[in-house]
Structure 1
Amino acid sequence: MLATTPKPPYYAVIFTSIRTSYDKEYIETAKKMEHLASLQEGYLGHESAREEVGITVSYWKDLESIKHWKSQSDHLLAQQKGRDKWYAAFKTRICLVERDYGFEREEQT
């Protein structure tokens, strides 16, 4: 499912990662982070895919909302576990979305 976002401008945080083979607690923590992010002021939605490279894009109202999410206590713990155990490499990019457009096929009967 694609995130429903408001009319721009808004922000996107693009988190790309390559995982290690260590899986303990990863899925549970990822689900918890998705839930906690959704409760944060300024959160607009997210989209995620995982193959050889994992990509999660979260959408935010403003930079202040992103800053608060980055420093949320449970998120800080997850970030540390990611560096210590789950990720061989990762990159975070923060972007201003100035334009968006899309297409959604209507169900045919």
Structure 2
Amino acid sequence: MFNNAPTAPYYAVIFTSVMADETSGYDAMAEKMVSLAQQQPGFLGMDSARSDLGITVSYWRDLDSIRAWKSNPQHQVAQSKGQAQWYQGYTVRIAKVERDYSMEGEEE
């Protein structure tokens, strides 16, 4: 049901977006980016939901892993297309996860 994130601490990149009217090619690129991210050193998992507002949270071991993903050449192509065509607007937030817990109980 939810991503089984590693034991904290780790980092979360929170990408929140509103789609533009023109989304041709978006779904294929999104699938490609998920596959590519899964191959990146330091990638720990991902959760995503989309309605009027889309939210994707990717989990990373450290800030260097996040920087490497941001500068990946294929990811940069996707970022450029997103800015030019697919997104009406977006924000990116990076947070350090100190603790997490679920219905099964709190992590210490």
For residues 12-57 of structure 1, the C-alpha deviation after alignment (integer angstroms, 9 at most, x for no partner) is 0000000001121100000000000000000000000000100000
Distance in 1 between residues matched to 2:103 and 2:69, nearest whole Å? 30
Which blocks of at least 5 consecutive residues in structure 2 are unaligned? none
Secondary structure of the 2:102 match is coil
Kindly report structure 1 stretches of 4+ aligned residues shifted beyond 6 Å. Answer: none
Structure 2 residue aligned with 1:34: 34
Length, aligned pairs only: 104
- What's the C-alpha RMSD, in Å, of the aligned pairs? 0.8
TM-score (norm 1): 0.93
Which structure's residues are more often strand, by fraction? 2
Calculate percent identity across the aligned residue pairs: 51
What stretches of structure 1 of length at least 5 have no aligned partner?
105-109
1:71 aligns with 2:71: yes
Other structure's SS at 2:101 match = coil
Measure, in 1, the Cα distance between the counterparts of 2:60 and 2:71. Answer: 15
